[in-house]
Amino acid sequence: MSSDTDFLLAIEDLTVSFDGFKAVDGLNFYLDEDELHVIIGPNGAGKTTVLDMICGKTPATSGSIKFRNQELTKLSEHKIVHAGVGRKFQNPSIYENLSVLENLEISFPRGHGVFGALMFKRDEQVVRRVEEIAEEINLKDELHTQAGLLSHGQKQWLEIGMLLIQDPQLLMLDEPVAGMSVKERQDTAHLLRRICKGRAVLVIEHDMEFVKSIAHKVTVLHQGKILAAGDMDHVQSDPRVIEVYLGH
């Protein structure tokens, strides 16, 4: 019998095998509430696959993923979102021809898809929440801007906002600052440090300056397994991490 855990997310002995190739191999991984955790590691290490498994996109071959003590490996993607897990992919999936306001509105939990969301009346509650989120993601002055006209960085923030408006307890971001300017990276670091309060944030990133500026804990993945884990200083000084990743 598996027992209850105090962790927000508890992953145990998680494995996925693609035609015999183990992209994730016996992973044990734990997240607390309020924790901002970064996964680093070379290309092909299995980082994205771990997020794919947590959000139900890739079924596990074996092992367990418990989120608030609910087993996720048996749930559909939709139910996992409903359980409180939000995931941002590398390319933002926003509606380019709608305004920032409309994109956020559509993502408000009451709205069911584009049509449902556009038909419901803009009540006070929704407007307040949209404004709150727009402020949080530095897009308060762009509410009526068409999303397609935003900068690359602003589009990334908008997608983060579209997840935040659903108030996930776990937010996962795959390479959120790729392609961003230095200033946008700094603003994103501030944003992530703010939004990890009251939830957990799990980030995959390569930009080590950025990782250093946000991570409470770092896990280094290599060939589907954990090579090292701990705070940034600990991980950075690990000779194996330097050899397989940081040295390059």
Contact status: 219 vs ligand ADP (CB under 6 A): no
Angle between helices 182-195 and 124-136 (to 10 degrees): 130
Task: Please give the residue whose beta carbon sits closest to Mg ion in the complex.
Answer: 48
Q: Build a one-symbol-per-residue string for 177-196: x at contacts with ligand ADP by CB under 6 A, - elsewhere.
A: --------------------
Of 98 and 172, nearer to ligand ADP (C-beta) is 172
**Residues 168, 174: Cα–Cα separation, whole Å:** 16
Of 37 and 105, nearer to ligand ADP (C-beta) is 37
The tokens for 98 are 């709608």
Sequence-ordered list of residues with C-beta below 8 angstroms from that of 183, at least 6 positions apart, any chain: none
Contact status: 43 vs ligand ADP (CB under 6 A): yes
**Residues 56, 78: Cα–Cα separation, whole Å:** 8
What's the first-to-final CA gap in the chain, in angstroms?
44
In the beta sheet, which residues pair with residue 226?
221
**Interface pick for ligand ADP out of 2, 5, 18, 69 (rule CB under 6 A):** 18
**Residues 175, 172: Cα–Cα separation, whole Å:** 10
User: Taking CB within 5 to 8 Å according to partner kind, which of Mg ion, ligand ADP, none is near residue 3?
Assistant: none
Stretch that binds ligand ADP, among 2-10, 37-45, 63-71, 104-112 (CB under 6 A): 37-45
Q: Build a one-symbol-per-residue string for 44-63: x at contacts with ligand ADP by CB under 6 A, - elsewhere.
A: xxxxxx--------------
CB of 81 to ligand ADP, least distance (A): 20
Contact status: 248 vs ligand ADP (CB under 6 A): no
Contact status: 23 vs ligand ADP (CB under 6 A): yes
In the beta sheet, which residues pair with residue 31?
9
Characterize the bridge pairing of strands 170-174 and 85-88.
parallel
